[in-house]
Structure 1
Amino acid sequence: MTRPLSSAERSAERRQNWLKGEAEKARESRGEAGQMEFWLRIARSRIAKDVKSGRGDVYSGFALICRLFITALDQRVEGDGRIWNDLLRYADQVVAQHPPRN
């Protein structure tokens, strides 16, 4: 038998379901571009919250991730899709194991 969820767990579950639902709505209304724009808005909001909390290293972390993404795109254009494929596979694994929270 499983125990009932605590209020914090229920709240986290509702937030996760909301994020998934909103991302899906964005995708349905504007396609993949809409879904991308939704996640960029969420990332921008989370970055602002981290900075307010004194974690300014979030800027350099996000910049590094953007540089990695651009490198993967550039390599794919040049005919080498290994970095792109590895990046997508790793991102898929991480998101599957650690879905977004609050």
Structure 2
Amino acid sequence: MTRPLTSVERSIQGRNSWLQEEERKAIESRGEMGRMEFWLRVTRSRIAKDVKSGRDDVIPGFTSVCRLFKLAIDKRADGDARLWNHLMQYAQQVLEQHGPRN
């Protein structure tokens, strides 16, 4: 028998369900472009909340992630897909370990 969820666990579960549903709607309406735009909006909102809470290091962190992504895209366009492949593989592993559960 499993124990009932705590209010924090229910809140996290509700948030994850909301994210999954909104992502699904974005994909249905605009495809992969819609998915990307959804996650950019969610991320921008979260960055604003973190800055408001005094966690200003979120801005250089996001900037570094964007620079890394652009570098991987540029290298792939130049014919060297190693960085892109490593980045995608790492992203998949992290999301599987730490992302919301379906």
TM-score range, shorter chain: over 0.9
Stretches of structure 2 lacking an aligned partner (at least 5 in a row): none
Residue identity (%) = 63
User: For 1:39-78, what aligned pairs fall within 5 Å after superposition?
Assistant: 39-78=39-78
Deviation of residue 33 (structure 1)?
0.3
Instruction: Name the SS for the 1:5 alignment partner.
Output: coil
Give the alignment of 1:1-102 within 5 angstroms.
Answer: 1-99=1-99
Query: Aligned-pair distance for 1:7?
Result: 1.2
What secondary structure, in the 3-state scheme, does the structure 2 residue paired with 1:51 have?
helix
What do you get for the CA RMSD once the two structures are aligned? 0.9
Question: Deviation per CA, 1:7-27, whole angstroms, max 9, x where unpaired?
Answer: 110110010011011111101
Runs of 4+ in 1 over 4 A off after TM superposition: none
Q: Which has the higher contact order (CA 8 A, sep 6+)?
A: 1
How far residue 98 of structure 1 moved from its aligned partner, in angstroms, is 1.4
Normalising by the residue count of structure 2, what TM-score does the alignment of the two structures yield? 0.94
Structure 1: gaps of 5 or more residues: none
* TM score, norm. by length of structure 1: 0.94
Matched residue count = 100
